C-alpha cells in the first residue's frame, strides 16, 4: 500500500530524521496522547491502518508497545519473526520492501545492521521505523526525552551523563544532544568508545572520558545500558572485566545533581551496570521510561501516518 497522498513519505531511521521543532512537538503530542489514554478517551486516527513489525532481534518492550499502540489508535499490527518472512530466508531486502509496503501502511524493523533498514526504506512506499539497529535506537530516545520532560520539564540546556558501552544507545544520545540541545558527558572503558566520526561531528556538546565520576558530576540525567547487548553474549566475561568500575551505584550517583533522574532502557542487570538501590531507588524513573515507549511511539505513528488533529500540537 503506497503512502496516502495527503502525507509526504517520511521515515524514522535515526532521530535526525526529525527537525528540532518536529521532535519537540512530537514529545508534547505524546504527553497529550498519554493523558487521553489515562482518561479513557477513545482516539482512533489509524482505523484500517496496518503496521508490519519485522523482528530479526527479539524484544519485549518494542513488540508490546508498538502492537498495543496500534490497537489503541484503532489500527492493527502484524508480528513477523525471521521464520515468518522471506527476509530471513535470503530474499533481497529491496524485494521484501517492495512487497510489504504494497500491503501495509508502515513498517517497523528491529534488526542488526543500519544498512539493512536504510536499504529497506529506500525501496519502501510507506514509512519505515527503526525499532533498533546495532548503530541506533531512536524510539528509545523519544521515550527517554518524554520521560525527562514529564518529570523535570524540557531537557534543553541540561547536562546528561551516559556511562557504559559506546553502543547504539550512546550513539542515539549523541544525536539527541544535538536535536534537543543538551550537554552530553560520556564515560566508556577504553576500547568501547562511540563512533569517532559521530562524536567529532557533535564535539561542541558531547564530551568523552574514561572516568564515570567526571561524566556524572552535576548531571541532571544519568543513563546506562547493559555491558553486553544482545548478540554479544560470548563477550560477557571480557566485558565484565573491562567495565569494572562503571557500575552506577549510590556513591557515584551522589555526585550528580541532587535532583538528577536515572534511566535505563532495560533489561537491567542489577550489580553490573547499576546497583539495585539505584534502579529501585527514588531517583529512578525506569518504569515510566518503559511505559513511555508506548506513548512516544503512538505520537510517532500519528506523525508519520496522519498528523495530529487540526489546531493541536
* DSSP track, 238-281: HHHHHTTT--B-HHHHTTS-TT-EEEE-S---BTTTB-HHHHTS
Q: Is 137 an annotated catalytic residue?
A: yes
Q: Is 125 an annotated catalytic residue?
A: no
Q: Which residues are annotated as a binding site?
A: 59-62, 86, 110, 137-140, 168, 225, 229-230, 265-266, 293
Q: Which three cell numbers mark 206?
A: 558531547
Instruction: Name 251's Cβ contacts closer than 8 Å, sequence gap at least 6.
Output: none
Q: Which residues are annotated as a binding site for carbamoyl phosphate?
A: 59-62, 86, 110, 137-140, 265-266, 293
Question: Pick the catalytic residue: 137, 185, 239, 295?
Answer: 137
Question: Pick the catalytic residue: 265, 283, 295, 297?
Answer: 265
What are the respective helix, strand and coil percentages of the chain, to the nearest 5? Answer: 45, 15, 40
Indicate if the alpha-carbon torsion angle 198, 201, 202, 204 is positive or negative.
positive
Q: Is 84 an annotated catalytic residue?
A: no
Question: Pick the catalytic residue: 24, 63, 110, 264?
Answer: 110
Spatial CA neighbour of 263 closest among 110, 101, 137, 82 = 137
Query: Which residue carries 525527562 as its cell?
Result: 148
Question: Pick the catalytic residue: 170, 293, 295, 297?
Answer: 293
Return the beta strands (E) in the chain as ranges: 50-55, 76-80, 106-110, 128-132, 159-163, 183-187, 206-209, 221-224, 261-264
Give the CA-trace dihedral at 227, 53, 287, 152, to 10 degrees.
100
Q: Which three cell numbers mark 56?
A: 530479526
Q: Is 185 an annotated catalytic residue?
A: no
Q: Which residues are annotated as a binding site for L-ornithine?
A: 168, 225, 229-230
Q: Is 225 an annotated catalytic residue?
A: yes
Compute how many other C-beta atoms are within 10 angstroms of the C-beta atom of residue 101: 24
d(CA 209, CA 187): 5
Question: Pick the catalytic residue: 3, 72, 140, 149?
Answer: 140
Q: Is 293 an annotated catalytic residue?
A: yes
Q: Which three cell numbers mark 147?
A: 520521560
Active site residues: 110, 137, 140, 225, 265, 293
Amino acid at each position: 500500500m503506497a503512502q496516502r497522498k495527503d502525507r509526504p513519505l517520511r521515515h524514522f531511521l535515526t532521530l535526525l530524521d526529525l527537525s528540532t521543532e518536529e521532535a519537540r512537538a512530537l514529545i508534547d503530542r505524546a504527553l497529550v496522547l498519554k493523558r487521553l489514554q489515562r482518561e479513557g478517551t477513545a482516539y482512533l486516527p489509524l482505523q484500517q491502518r496496518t503496521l508490519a513489525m519485522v523482528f530479526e532481534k527479539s524484544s519485549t518492550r518494542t513488540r508490546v508497545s508498538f502492537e498495543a499502540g496500534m490497537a489503541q489508535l484503532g489500527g492493527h499490527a502484524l508480528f513477523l519473526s525471521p521464520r515468518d518472512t522471506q527476509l530471513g530466508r535470503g530474499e533481497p531486502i529491496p524485494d521484501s520492501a517492495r512487497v510489504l509496503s504494497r500491503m501495509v501502511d508502515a513498517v517497523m524493523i528491529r534488526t542488526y545492521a543500519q544498512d539493512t533498514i536504510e536499504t529497506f526504506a529506500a525501496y519502501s512506499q510507506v514509512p519505515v521505523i527503526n525499532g533498533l539497529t546495532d548503530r541506533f535506537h531512536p524510539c528509545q530516545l523519544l521515550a527517554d526525552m518524554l520521560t525527562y520532560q514529564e518529570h523535570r520539564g524540557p531537557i534543553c540546556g541540561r547536562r546528561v551523563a551516559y556511562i557504559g558501552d559506546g553502543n547504539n544507545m550512546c550513539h542515539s544520545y549523541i544525536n539527541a544532544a544535538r536535536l534537543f540541545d543538551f550537554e552530553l558527558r560520556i564515560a566508556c572503558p577504553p576500547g568501547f568508545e562511540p563512533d569517532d566520526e559521530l562524536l567529532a561531528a557533535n564535539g561542541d556538546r558531547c564530551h568523552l572520558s574514561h572516568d564515570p565520576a567526571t561524566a556524572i558530576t552535576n548531571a541532571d540525567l544519568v543513563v546506562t545500558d547493559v555491558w553486553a547487548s544482545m548478540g554479544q553474549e560470548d563477550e560477557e566475561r571480557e566485558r565484565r572485566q573491562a567495565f569494572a568500575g562503571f557500575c552506577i551505584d549510590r556513591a557515584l550517583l551522589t555526585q550528580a545533581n541532587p535532583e538528577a533522574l536515572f534511566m535505563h532502557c532495560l533489561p537491567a542487570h542489577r550489580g553490573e551496570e547499576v546497583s539495585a538501590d539505584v534502579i529501585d531507588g527514588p531517583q529512578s524513573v525506569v518504569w515510566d521510561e518503559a511505559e513511555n515507549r508506548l506513548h512516544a511511539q503512538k505520537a510517532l505513528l500519528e506523525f508519520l501516518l496522519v498528523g495530529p488533529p487540526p489546531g493541536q500540537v
